[in-house]
């Protein structure tokens, strides 16, 4: 039997926790929405923090963390980024989710499989879905840019 190592466990290189991936999706989509409305970077960062605190008060977030996420996952020299787009779940999406839950429950009964309990699905809670894809990094022009000479 191997002796347990002392200290904090090492993270797997190049991986992030699922909750961090969810926060990444929420942060980048809220930031992109603010920038599409024409907000400057600093205002978009502030609005991102405000919208996340309002929508998910249990999620730890700050302006510094938003900037850190943007600098890590959207560096200036990158050409391609992971782009998240937020949308509200449709009735069809909710029906699919219900069907999947019913199939899992039926499979558990039929096969006698014991799975951890599924999270409680609250239909009254605001729900959103994220689609993600690789895309070209958006270019946001400067507001105070000097007019080019012709």
Q: What is the pLDDT of residues 4-22, one digit of tens each?
A: 888 888 888 888 888 899 8
Sequence-separated (6 or more) residues with CB below 8 Å from residue 89: 127, 128, 129
CA torsion sign for 55, 134, 89, 104 is: negative
Supply 132's token pair: 């993600």
- Tell me how far apart the alpha carbons of residues 48 and 58 are, in angstroms, rounded to a whole number: 15
According to the model, what pLDDT value does residue 117 have?
Answer: 66
Average pLDDT along the chain: 84
Q: Which segment of 10-14, 32-36, 141-145 scores lowest on mean pLDDT? A: 141-145
pTM above 0.85, yes or no: no
Mean pLDDT value across residues 103-107: 81
Phi, psi of 32 (to 5 degrees): -65, -40
Cα(42)–Cα(60) distance, integer angstroms: 19
DSSP state of 121: -
pLDDT digit string, tens, across residues 118-137? 666 666 666 777 888 899 98
Q: Where are the domains of the chain?
A: 18-136
């Amino acid at each position: 039997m191997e002796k347990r190592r002392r200290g904090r466990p090492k993270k797997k290189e190049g991986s992030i926790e699922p909750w961090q991936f969810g926060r990444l999706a929420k942060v980048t989509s809220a930031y992109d929405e603010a920038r599409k409305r024409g907000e400057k970077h600093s205002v978009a960062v502030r609005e991102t923090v405000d919208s996340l605190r309002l929508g998910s008060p249990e999620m730890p977030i700050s302006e510094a963390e938003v900037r850190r996420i943007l600098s890590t996952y959207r560096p200036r020299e990158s050409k391609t980024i992971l782009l998240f787009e937020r949308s509200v779940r449709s009735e069809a999406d909710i029906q699919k989710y219900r069907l999947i839950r019913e199939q899992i429950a039926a499979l558990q009964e039929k096969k006698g499989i014991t799975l951890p309990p599924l999270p409680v699905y609250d239909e009254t809670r605001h729900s959103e879905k994220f689609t993600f894809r690789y895309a070209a990094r958006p270019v946001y022009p400067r507001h105070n840019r000097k007019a080019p000479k012709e």
